[in-house]
Chains A and B, each alone.
Chain A
Amino acid sequence: MIDLLAHLKDMLSVAGLSGFEKPIREIVQKAWAPLTDELSVSKIGSLHGLKIGRGEQPRHRVMISAHMDAIGLMVTGMQDGLLRFTEVGGIDPRILPGQLVIVHGREDLPGVVVQPPAHVLPETDGDGPVAMKYLFVDVGLRPGDVAEKVRVGDTISFAQEPLELTGEALAGHTLDNRVSVAATTLCLEELKNRAHQWDVWAVASAQEEETLGGALTSPFDIRPDIAIVIDVCFAKGPGSSDWRSLPFGEGVGLGYGPNIHPALYQRFEQKAKALEIPYHQDLMPRMSGTDAMAVQVVAEGIPCMVLGIPLRYMHTPVETVSLKDIRRAGRLMAAVIADLMPETLEQIQWEE
């Protein structure tokens, strides 16, 4: 049995910013190796794990896509030993001052994001939020050493250690979307004991936070018949209480909207009901904001489902999630996949 918390902490211990996924990929590779029949890496760094089905050739293919890349920062320049930076992925600069970070230079350097005092900033930035272009990272080294160890283009990741809160809640950076990678691991583990007919392609995708690059390219290679995209969704919390947010720790989100094939939605909903796995409908009236935006329109088009794990404080170093929902997501995916029969594809139709 996989120790979910340990698996997650493993993944949260490394950076792996969008475009620089190697460290996280290596950890996922290790976790998936015993659970899959083949592992490969795409041309741009997504991890593909194939678990062969028991059906007869040619077997249908289901792809699970969980992005493994993280948001973070990148060095754009240096002045007096202080580093200027930009973002990788979308970050609200107001959450940055005072955050502990690691600068991935010629060696890893601990640092802190600093907000310069008002008198050295443009007048308009006096006591308002300070724009990212005026913030610095201080690595505590003298200018000469910084210039030697750091180069423009080096990545910077959050240094926040994972925190176990009460009630199986976990806080940390990059839970978006390592929790979904963990759910995929649980799903693969569960499928070890199930006679699934279809080939299962588990993809830890690259670059979601920047270009959706992994999701645009991996399906072109794999050509799945259907795809399950799993990502985090909004949990109810401070400033996040309207219809777009789901209750925290009380079930997974089942995406519904133009990115999602209604027949797949129905299969997930029916399975969740049958297994009494708590869920909430997660409405996505226009776009899902996930890999599914890309996967759905690859080549001749791919029917997609979007599964969500509710998460608070998205894109901060203290994202918070309930382990219960991760387990639920893994179990639900495995149950839906185990039910895919050779003839199921014909039932995934538009005319309901």
Chain B
Amino acid sequence: MTKTNETHTELALEIGASQLELLEKLCNATAVSGDEHEVRQIVLEEIKPHVDEVKVDALGNVLATRFGRGENRLRVMLAAHMDEIGFMVVKKHDDGLFEFERIGGIDERQLPGKPVLVGREHLPGVIGAKPIHMTTSNERKNKIETSALRIDLGPEIGDKVKPSDRAAFATRFEVIGPSLRAKALDNRLGVATLIELLKHAPEQIDLLAAFTVQEEVGLRGAGVAAYAFHPDMAVAVDATPANDFPHWDDDDENDRYNTRLDAGPAIYVMDFYTIPDRRLINWLVETGEQTGTPYQLRQPGGGGTDAGAIHKVREGIPSVSVSVPIRYAHTAVSLARLDDWAYTLNLLHTALGRITPDLLAGERRD
């Protein structure tokens, strides 16, 4: 485990008040897959002064290019998804109660008793469940299914909410000691990272930033973004679970932690969708080693990032993923360490600055 650094004085890019403010704005915005409007607006506003080209494509991805200078510039795509898991209201009942569906991978056990914000107006509601007094012991053995839950907006909600409105968890962003606590750190951390990287882009490459949509419902935005950019290589920047909990049985080691908090950015060696190009894994690892930036290898296994769609586009695009480790992803409250984010941002910033065409010379090295 890496020792945390309280001051970051040696880091090239610091996380200061303005970066935290941006992350707060991004986390508190609602952008459920398929309706990324609010985050897209923030992104467009933030990046416009710093990019040479920007457009919103057919799916709602923001595609921004910042050109470098000089000869033989590699076209390097960075992707961070803007969307978050959440809900869609699907049916109106009496008394301000609404039936809803989950969008993205949400554990049903995380739903009862959570406040939510519904629609563009962010109208407050709660996810209600049957009181314990009225449940039987048999019922309590099973999880409460989504279809048995309702979002309650109060009896006078009238027509302000209708089926098709999206809803998200209502958790507000907070800094708690060394930690960040918010909803949707997956993947507003990635979005904020990309924005910072665009503001401090290296000169020797063309930086192609894709703020993608619909990642949580099947990596749908990233593929078309990669097709449009046609990059030489790609890095997906995301958030991944830190499941570094103690095992219930003290004698047992937790061998499936995925990543650990405080251990720095997580570099992917294999997930469900991608076996990353080893040249790019090594590039990131060497950057970490040579600059003393903490990093960890994410445990191989399931999960996935936008790289899963990107690397199969056209004739193939060498790709890798880097994630900020976060606890409790895909729930109402996720938690990350400020340091892990700072190290992720700096590892990427330094690594991008070290890219030369030699990185991709020769064959894919396994």
Q: Does A302 contact B (CB under 8 A)?
A: yes
Q: Does B34 contact A (CB under 8 A)?
A: yes
B37-88, CB < 8 A from A: 37, 40-41, 56-61, 88
A198-240, CB < 8 A from B: none
Q: Does A349 contact B (CB under 8 A)?
A: yes
A277-322, CB < 8 A from B: 281, 283, 285-287, 296-303
> How far apart are the CA atoms of A323 and B86 in the complex, in Å?
38
> How far apart are the CA atoms of A267 and B329 in the complex, in Å?
37
Contact of A352 among B37, B101, B218 (CB under 8 A): B37
Q: List the A side residues contacting B238 at CB < 8 Å.
A: none
Supply 26 A–B pairs (Cβ within 8 Å), ascending by A. A243-B91, A243-B163, A258-B33, A258-B34, A258-B213, A258-B220, A285-B101, A286-B217, A296-B58, A297-B220, A297-B224, A298-B224, A299-B224, A299-B227, A300-B57, A300-B58, A300-B227, A301-B224, A301-B227, A301-B228, A302-B58, A350-B37, A350-B56, A351-B41, A351-B56, A352-B37
- Encode contact with A along B130-145: 1 for CB under 8 Å, 0 otherwise: 0000000000000000
Q: List the B side residues contacting A257 at CB < 8 Å.
A: 34, 88
**Main secondary structure on A side of the interface with B:** loop
Pairwise interchain contact A258-B57, C-beta atoms closer than 8 A: no
Q: Does B223 contact A (CB under 8 A)?
A: yes
User: Which residue of chain A lies nearest to B57 when distances are taken between CB atoms in the complex?
Assistant: A301
Q: List the A side residues contacting B12 at CB < 8 Å.
A: none
Distance to closest chain B CB from A213 (angstroms): 17
Pairwise interchain contact A243-B227, C-beta atoms closer than 8 A: no
> How far apart are the CA atoms of A296 and B59 in the complex, in Å?
8
Q: Known contacts A283-B88, A283-B164, A350-B40; is A261 also within 8 Å of B58 by CB? A: yes
**Main secondary structure on B side of the interface with A:** mixed
> How far apart are the CA atoms of A281 and B228 in the complex, in Å?
32
> How far apart are the CA atoms of A250 and B101 in the complex, in Å?
25
A residues apposed to B, CB below 8 Å: 242-243, 256-258, 261, 281, 283, 285-287, 296-303, 349-352
Pairwise interchain contact B103-A286, C-beta atoms closer than 8 A: yes
Q: Known contacts A258-B33, A296-B59, A300-B227; is A285 also within 8 Å of B90 by CB? A: yes
Q: Does B258 contact A (CB under 8 A)?
A: no
Pairwise interchain contact A300-B228, C-beta atoms closer than 8 A: yes
Q: Does B214 contact A (CB under 8 A)?
A: yes
> How far apart are the CA atoms of A242 and B56 in the complex, in Å?
36
> How far apart are the CA atoms of A351 and B102 in the complex, in Å?
24
Pairwise interchain contact B88-A285, C-beta atoms closer than 8 A: yes
Q: List the A side residues contacting B186 at CB < 8 Å.
A: none
Q: Does B196 contact A (CB under 8 A)?
A: no
User: Which residue of chain B lies nearest to A298 when distances are taken between CB atoms in the complex?
Assistant: B224
Q: Known contacts A243-B99, A350-B37; is A281 also within 8 Å of B163 by CB? A: yes
* Residue of B56, B58, B103 with most chain A CB atoms under a 10 A cut-off: B58
Top 9 closest pairs, chain A to chain B, by CB: A258-B34, A301-B224, A301-B58, A285-B88, A243-B91, A285-B101, A300-B228, A243-B90, A350-B60
